[in-house]
Amino acid sequence: MERFEMVFCYEEYDTVILGKHMLIVPQHSAALPGAADVQVISIPSNHSNMAKFLSENDSGFKSVYRSLQSMRAKANAKVQDNWWRWEYSNSQ
């Protein structure tokens, strides 16, 4: 069985909730326990703003973008391989 490629993110800065400063998703809890073949990305922001990138030059955006591009490239290669196998098996 093939595994899913997973990417998890955590924030670097505290979020203020009811006057308390806290990390909502600290690094140690960013990935599922026992999960294999995962990538964990640090986002230099608090939890509320970690997906609100200022621009494409934002380091958090660049990290997420690189991960998505890598996943897209692997998916394209897998689809091409599956088509090749299907065409080969149907040409026999």
Give the chain's domain count.
1
Which residues, including other chains, have CB under 8 Å from residue 32's CB and lie 6 or more apart?
Answer: 6, 8, 38
Residues of the chain falling short of pLDDT 70: 1-2
What's the CA gap between 36 and 14, in Å, rounded? 28
Residue 1 belongs to some domain of the structure:
no
How many other C-beta atoms are found inside a 10 Å radius of the C-beta of residue 21? Answer: 10
- In this predicted structure, what is the pLDDT of residue 1? 44
Domain that holds residue 48: 6-90
What's the CA gap between 45 and 65, in Å, rounded? 16
Burial (CB count within 10 angstroms: exposed 0-12, middle 13-18, buried 19+), residue 9: buried
Q: pTM of the full predicted structure?
A: 0.75
Residue 24 belongs to some domain of the structure:
yes
Residue 45 belongs to some domain of the structure:
yes
